[in-house]
Amino acid sequence: MSDTVAVVHDSHDIPHATGSKYVQIACILFVLTALEVLLYEVCFGHLSGSSFSASLAPHFVSVLLILSAMKFWFVAMFYMHLKFDIKILSWLFGFSLMIASVVILALFVLFTYNRTLWWWNGAWH
Amino acid sequence: MTAAALPHDSASAHEEHHTSLPVNNRKLAIWTFIGSECMFFASLITTFVIYRDSHATGPGPKDVLGVPLVTSGTAVLLFSSFFVVMALNGAQQGNRKKLLTWLSLTVLCGLFFAGMQVYEFTHFVRDGMGYTTNLFATSFFTLTGFHGTHVAIGTLWLATLLKDAWKGRIPPEKSLNLEIAALYWHFVDVVWIIIFPVVYLMSLGHK
């Protein structure tokens, strides 16, 4: 735990990460963003056309979502201090994300149902 | 904490509102607000994904969206999150120079991102994509416009804190003021972490 402590915040003496840890996270976030753009370029951009691109393209969305989820996790845990703060904040955020997921699912189901019901001829993607 | 235990005579007594939870009220409030914002942006992002291909009239995603400019904006926003935690680190250590330097950079990043979005929107309108051109345009402008508004509000908030820091009004014991603004700023960044691949990269790669 050499990267934690040193800094306390508000009145509850909860340790946060130090500057060097923040720099490490910034580098990771930058690399992940670069990977996202590289993935797009390999699959559909200037670097596409090879057999590797063709094999990677079907997994484009899932790989992109995994990379985004990783970035999301790093920012929430370290920059938003969820890793160091009291657990109730993590639960609060997690609960909100769960409801947000339900909202996403509900909207997709609703629109799929409506399209199927009213637009028989329209293939919906 | 009982009411009798609170220091009635100090100025901080008016700022610290304790509850039975071991967390500051204002911090709990900003996290609750962030939770509600998660649902707000979840519905906007989903609506965009649903209407992404609804562009029978006017340009579609592949006609207008571009990667290079938005990638630079994404990088700037990610760096701004790093800058604001460094500013908070400075505030908690009582290092005024560090606080001012990193907070100034954060505000500059916010201004750059907002400027990038205005530039992008202007180009889209010139390319024939107005707000009501088609459902793709409407959902795109609504989503990114709301995010841009959040960035503008966050930049303004951080700029006011920069002014306070300049006048020496953010000592270590008041660093929570900056921490709350920083949490909001990180959330704005986290939302863009989702918007960037879903709206730009996936739309361009979508068949």
* Close Cβ partners of B66 (under 8 Å, ≥ 6 residues apart): none
**Band of residue B6 on the pLDDT scale cut at 50, 70, 90:** very low
- In chain B, what residues touch A97 (CB-CB under 8 Å)? 38
**Band of residue A5 on the pLDDT scale cut at 50, 70, 90:** very low
User: Mean pLDDT throughout B165-191?
Assistant: 95
Cβ pair A37:B89 closer than 8 A: no
**Band of residue A7 on the pLDDT scale cut at 50, 70, 90:** very low
pLDDT at B12: 47
Whether A96 has a pLDDT exceeding 90, the answer reads: yes
pLDDT at A104: 94
**DSSP letter assigned to residue B163:** H
- Neighbour-count burial of B56, counting CB atoms closer than 10 A to its CB (0-12 exposed, 13-18 middle, 19+ buried): exposed
Q: What DSSP string describes B22-63? A: SS-HHHHHHHHHHHHHHHHHHHHHHHHHHHTT--SSS--HHH
Higher pLDDT, B67 or B81: B81
pLDDT at B102: 97
Q: Smallest Cα–Cα separation from B162: which of B105, B95, B80?
A: B105
The string of pLDDT tens digits covering residues A54-79 is: 888 888 888 989 999 999 999 999 99
Percent of chain B with pLDDT over 90: 73
Whether B63 has a pLDDT exceeding 70, the answer reads: yes
Least confident residue range of B26-40, B60-74, B75-89, B125-139: B60-74
Nearest to B202 among A12, A64, A92 (CB): A64
Distance CA A58, CA B56 (A): 26
pLDDT at B23: 83
B-contacting residues in A 93-112 (Cβ below 8 Å): 93, 95-97, 99-101, 103-104, 107-108, 111
**Band of residue A53 on the pLDDT scale cut at 50, 70, 90:** confident
- In chain A, what residues touch B205 (CB-CB under 8 Å)? 40, 43-44, 57, 60-61
A-contacting residues in B 124-163 (Cβ below 8 Å): none
Strands (E), B68-193: none
Whether B205 has a pLDDT exceeding 80, the answer reads: no
pLDDT at A46: 83
The CA–CA distances, whole Å, from A8 to B19, B135, B165, B178, B179 equal: 20, 49, 19, 14, 12
User: Mean pLDDT throughout B161-178?
Assistant: 95
Tell me the whole-structure pTM to 2 decimals: 0.86
pLDDT at A116: 66
pLDDT at B74: 92
pLDDT at B61: 87
Distance CA B153, CA B132 (A): 25
pLDDT at B18: 62
Distance CA A96, CA A101 (A): 9
Nearest to A125 among B53, B79, B186 (CB): B53
Percent of chain A with pLDDT over 70: 78
Cβ pair B27:A36 closer than 8 A: no
Q: Say whether residue A22 is in contact with chain B using an 8 A CB cutoff.
A: yes
pLDDT at A49: 82
Cβ pair A60:B179 closer than 8 A: no
pLDDT at B21: 75
Least confident residue range of A98-102, B37-41, B66-70: B66-70
B-contacting residues in A 33-72 (Cβ below 8 Å): 33, 36-37, 39-41, 43-45, 57, 60-61, 64-65, 67-68, 71-72
Whether A9 has a pLDDT exceeding 50, the answer reads: no
Distance CA B34, CA B42 (A): 12
Show the tokens assigned to B120: 């992008």
Cβ pair B194:A18 closer than 8 A: no
pLDDT at B62: 87
User: Mean pLDDT throughout B119-135?
Assistant: 93
Buried b (16+ CB within 10 A) or exposed e, A88-111: ebbebbeebbeebeebbeebeeeb
ipTM value for the complex:
0.84
Least confident residue range of A69-83, B50-64, B173-187: B50-64
